[in-house]
Structure 1
Amino acid sequence: MPVFLNNLKKNSHLDQIHMTVCNVGSRKLGINDDYASLGWETFAPNLSIYGFDADADACEEANANIEARQVNWQEKHIPLALGSSVGESTLYVTKHPMCSSLYPPNEAYLKRFQGLPELVNLDFALEIETTTLDTFCKDEGIREIDFLQIDVQGADLDVLKGSYYLLEKSVLAIQIEVEFSPLYVNQPLFTDIDIFLRNQGFSLFDLAPSYRTRSDSPIQSTLHPGQILWADAFYFRDLIQENVNFNLKTPQQILKLACIADIMHFPDYALELLTYVTINYGHDPKYNFASSIIESLSEIPDLVQAEIETLPAVSKLKSYIN
Structure 2
Amino acid sequence: MKPPCPPGPATPAKTLTLTLPGDVKICVRADIRQMTTFVLLEQEDWFEDEMAFVRRLAKPGMRMLDVGANHGVYSLTVARQLNGEGRIWSVEPASEPGSLLQQSIGENGFGMVMSWVRAALSDHEGEATLTLGDSSELNSLQGNGGGRRTETVALRTLDSLLPDIGDQPIDFMKLDAEGEELRVLAGGREFFARHSPLVMFELKHSSTINWGLIDAFKALGMTVYQYLPGLRALVPVEDAQTLDGYVLNLFAARPERAAQLAREGLLYEGDTVVGPQEGDRPDWSEQLLGKPFGRPMAAAWARTLKDRAALALHAETLALALDFENPQFDLGYRLEAGRRAKLAFEKKFAAGQGTVTMVATYSRVLRSLGYRTGAVNVMGGSLERLMQVMPADLTQPFLPPDPASDVAVPAGSLESWFRTQCLQFLERIRTLSSYFTPDTGLMEKVLREESRGVEMERRFALRSALSGRSIHVRPDSRLLKVGPEHRNAASWEWLAKTWKSSALRKTSAGTPRPPAAPRSFESLAELLPAPLETVRVVDVGACSHGEGTEPYAPLVKRSLAVVTGFEPNPEECAKVQALHGDGHRFLPYFIGAGGPATYHETHWVQTGSLYRPDAEIIDAFGLRELVQLKQTHPVTTHALDDLPDLGEIDLLKLDIQGGELDALRHGVRVLSDVLVIQVEVEFIPLYEGQPLFADIDTFLRGQGFLLHTFVDIAPGYFAPLARPQVPKGITQALWSDALYVRDFRRLRGLPPTRLKKLALILHDVYRAYNLCHKVLQILDQREPLPGSASAYRAWLEANEGH
TM range (shorter): 0.7 to 0.9
Equivalent residue, structure 1, for 2:59: none
Equivalent residue, structure 2, for 1:249: 750
How has the CA–CA distance of structure 1 residues 299 and 76 changed in structure 2, closer, same or farther, with 3 Å as cutoff? farther
Whether 2:734 is the aligned partner of 1:229: answer yes
Whether 2:794 is the aligned partner of 1:289: answer no
CA distance in 1, matches of 2:635, 2:801: 54
* Secondary structure of 1:33's aligned partner: coil
Among candidates 71, 76, 79, match of residue 585 of structure 2? 76
Whether 2:802 is the aligned partner of 1:300: answer no
CA contact under 8 A between 1:25 and 1:53: conserved in structure 2?
yes
Among candidates 183, 200, 206, match of residue 686 of structure 2? 183
Q: Deviations over 1:150-199 (max 9, x none)?
A: 0000011011012100111x101101000111100000011100000000
CA distance in 2, matches of 1:272, 1:166: 25
Whether 2:628 is the aligned partner of 1:161: answer no
Whether 2:563 is the aligned partner of 1:54: answer no
CA distance in 1, matches of 2:798, 2:555: 18
* Secondary structure of 1:165's aligned partner: helix
Equivalent residue, structure 1, for 2:624: 117
CA distance in 1, matches of 2:523, 2:618: 47
Q: Deviations over 1:186-214 (max 9, x none)?
A: 00011100000000111111113101211
How has the CA–CA distance of structure 1 residues 91 and 12 changed in structure 2, closer, same or farther, with 3 Å as cutoff? same
Q: Gapped runs of 5+ residues in structure 1?
A: 304-322
Q: Deviations over 1:73-115 (max 9, x none)?
A: x21211000002x21111000111100000000012210113x
Q: Gapped runs of 5+ residues in structure 2?
A: 1-518
Whether 2:782 is the aligned partner of 1:274: answer no
CA distance in 2, matches of 1:255, 1:111: 46
CA distance in 1, matches of 2:761, 2:637: 29
- Report the AA paired with residue 799 of structure 2: I
Equivalent residue, structure 2, for 1:64: 578
Equivalent residue, structure 1, for 2:636: 129
CA distance in 1, matches of 2:759, 2:696: 24
Whether 2:721 is the aligned partner of 1:217: answer yes
Whether 2:648 is the aligned partner of 1:144: answer yes
Q: Structure 1 or 2: larger strand share?
A: 1
The CA deviation at 1:271 is 0.9
CA contact under 8 A between 1:255 and 1:277: conserved in structure 2?
yes
How has the CA–CA distance of structure 1 residues 171 and 36 changed in structure 2, closer, same or farther, with 3 Å as cutoff? closer
The CA deviation at 1:223 is 1.3
Among candidates 26, 29, 45, match of residue 542 of structure 2? 26
Equivalent residue, structure 2, for 1:108: 616
CA contact under 8 A between 2:556 and 2:562: conserved in structure 1?
no
How has the CA–CA distance of structure 1 residues 217 and 95 changed in structure 2, closer, same or farther, with 3 Å as cutoff? same
CA distance in 1, matches of 2:547, 2:563: 16
The CA deviation at 1:32 is 5.2
Larger radius of gyration: 2
Whether 2:526 is the aligned partner of 1:10: answer yes
How has the CA–CA distance of structure 1 residues 12 and 176 changed in structure 2, closer, same or farther, with 3 Å as cutoff? closer
The CA deviation at 1:227 is 1.1
* Secondary structure of 2:688's aligned partner: coil
CA distance in 1, matches of 2:670, 2:533: 18
CA contact under 8 A between 1:209 and 1:228: conserved in structure 2?
yes
CA contact under 8 A between 1:81 and 1:129: conserved in structure 2?
yes
CA distance in 1, matches of 2:776, 2:717: 42
Higher relative contact order (CA closer than 8 Å, sequence separation 6+) = 1
Aligned length: 280
CA contact under 8 A between 2:532 and 2:756: conserved in structure 1?
no
How has the CA–CA distance of structure 1 residues 180 and 298 changed in structure 2, closer, same or farther, with 3 Å as cutoff? closer
- Report the AA paired with residue 220 of structure 1: V
- Report the AA paired with residue 146 of structure 1: D
How has the CA–CA distance of structure 1 residues 103 and 275 changed in structure 2, closer, same or farther, with 3 Å as cutoff? same
CA distance in 1, matches of 2:552, 2:701: 29
The CA deviation at 1:9 is 2.6
- Report the AA paired with residue 632 of structure 2: A
The CA deviation at 1:221 is 3.2
- Report the AA paired with residue 640 of structure 2: L
CA contact under 8 A between 1:7 and 1:296: conserved in structure 2?
no
